[in-house]
A = this chain, B = another copy of it.
Amino acid sequence: MKDTINLGQPVIAAQGLNLVFQTNDGPVHALKDVDLTIGKGEFVSFIGPSGCGKTTFLRCIAALEHPTGGSLTVNGMTPDEARRKRAYGYVFQAAGLYPWRTIAGNIKLPLEIMGFPRAEQEARVERVLDLVDLKGFGKKFPWQLSGGMQQRASIARALAFDADILLMDEPFGALDEIVRDRLNEELLKLWARTGKTIGFVTHSIPEAVYLSTKIVVMSPRPGRITDVIDSPLPRERPLDIRDTPEFIAIAHRVREGLRAGHSYD
């Protein structure tokens, strides 16, 4: 397998997407004329200054927000239809665990809703708890966990079932370098194994470059895409790929894009 892997039809296609929030002190143009095509099996990172519309764009894809203009299709359907087909696994920016459920109970939630058999539920909970290094914390309540542990629980929850499209909003923001590296690797493995399409918001340039087949750089007020970088890195990525010149070159381009976005306002 190699770089540009736009196998088949686009999974996500946005054209001239606009979203304006009406607020008490005037409209906020959160997304402006966003064009983007994501192919099946791609790993797309979104990077951009705080408030540039990354979350909003992810929410549009997941049909949690309704664009005020332009078109957006997911697997050729409207996002809402795709949502009804349970196409998404979504990791929110805040952990958003239900306080009245234990960690295991929280992870079980989507499984219960999707009607997995009970034994299978247990097995999956065990597996993902292990994956995010929370073995033994299943019976705790969310408020008994540290911030980073909560975030990992929320990642586990999204990985517990097999959605075709995984949308992750800064999933590793509250984790230390070492856990982060480990989870990055796990995520890549999962991606390689399952061929999921992944949308991933991050603030870490190395992380974006390390993980993605495509990096989308955004800039704020109004939120729009300023650069789309197709990564020439191979699909197989050991951690030390981060020291290669290609890697550093892409990282540089991303940083420049980001800086440009900042200088804008």
Contacts and interface: CB of A to CB of B under 8 A. Distances in A.
Interface of A: 21, 23-25, 28, 47-52, 54-56, 93-94, 139-141, 144-149, 151-152, 169-170, 173-180, 203-205, 255, 258-259, 262
A86 B97 CA distance: 33
Q: Which 6 A-B pairs have the closest CB atoms?
A: A50-B148, A93-B147, A176-B203, A51-B146, A25-B139, A51-B149
Contacts of A203: 148, 174-177, 180
A175 to B, nearest CB: 6
6 contacts: A25-B140, A50-B146, A51-B145, A51-B148, A55-B146, A148-B203
A174 B24 contact: no
Given A93-B147, A94-B147, A147-B170, A176 B49 contact: yes
Given A94-B147, A146-B55, A147-B93, A179 B49 contact: yes
Nearest to A201: B147
Contact of A176 (B25, B144, B258): B258
Nearest to A95: B94
Given A49-B178, A54-B146, A56-B146, 5 more contacts: A23-B144, A24-B140, A28-B144, A93-B147, A176-B203
B177 A204 contact: yes
A47 B148 contact: no
A170 B174 CA distance: 8
A255 B177 CA distance: 9
A50 B179 CA distance: 8
A11 to B, nearest CB: 25
Given A23-B140, A144-B21, A144-B28, A177 B50 contact: no
A133 to B, nearest CB: 8
Contacts of A93: 147, 174
A174 B24 CA distance: 26
A258 B72 CA distance: 44
B259 A50 contact: no
A109 B195 CA distance: 49
A148 B262 CA distance: 15
B175 A50 contact: yes
A180 B24 CA distance: 29
A204 B178 CA distance: 10
Nearest to A258: B178
